Amino acid sequence: MSERSTLTHPDRPSAPEGDSRSRSTRRVRLAGFLVGIVVAAGVTAVGVWFASAWGRGDSPGATSVPAAAKAPVAWRRPIVSAAGLAERSGVRIVQVAATGGGGLLDLRFQVLDPDKAAAVHDEVTPPAIVDEATGLVVNSLLMGHAHGGRYKAGLTYYLVFENPGNLVHRNGKVSVLLGDAQVLHVVVK
């Protein structure tokens, strides 16, 4: 056999053993790294879009409502006593409790005047709980729950709020916003 029976090109010097395999491994790793970055950027972009859509109250895929068409939300309401809440909003607070391992806030209220209580779910004055220690406004109802029918006098109803980061704690004081009124210093059970 002649000396030219090797697999290398006769005009190029042969690479040291293992070097060509090392180069292809580096290329595969680099390609995988770049694909990973592109995928991560795509996932991040979709996550940001999804979070912003839910933060606006839209559901993914729904047409967005122009900001001018949405009712303004009033987070400051006239401060009243428990008796004043019954007079203004037609409800009496039964309790506010941290539930679900602290990740939920359960607000229970009894309806005294069904006509006035209809304002509890008004878009202009949505229900909310404000932590008095941090100022955190908790207004996201679990699974978008809202009462759909007419309230009945004497019945106790509930609203379950998501408690982000478990920031509102048992024995803490909160302000409860129901209808066009705000009650201060309600102790969380």
Same domain, 95 and 53: no
Same domain, 56 and 91: no
Percent share of the chain, pLDDT over 90? 35
- What is the predicted pLDDT for the residue at 27? 86
* pLDDT, mean over the chain: 78
pLDDT digits (tens, 9 = 90+) for 36-58: 888 877 777 666 665 555 444 44
- What is the predicted pLDDT for the residue at 102? 92
Contacts of 100 (CB under 8 A, 6+ apart): 163
Same domain, 110 and 176: yes
| Domains in the chain, number | 2
What's the CATH code of the domain at 166? 2.60.40
- Please indicate, yes or no, if residue 6 is contained in any of the structural domains: no
List the helix and strand counts (H, then E) for the chain. 3, 8
Range of the domain at 155: 79-187
- Please indicate, yes or no, if residue 162 is contained in any of the structural domains: yes
Same domain, 33 and 54: yes
pLDDT beyond 80 at 13: no
Same domain, 58 and 20: yes
pLDDT digits (tens, 9 = 90+) for 115-167: 999 888 888 888 999 998 888 889 888 887 777 788 999 999 999 999 988 99
- State both tokens at 161: 């709020």
Same domain, 85 and 163: yes
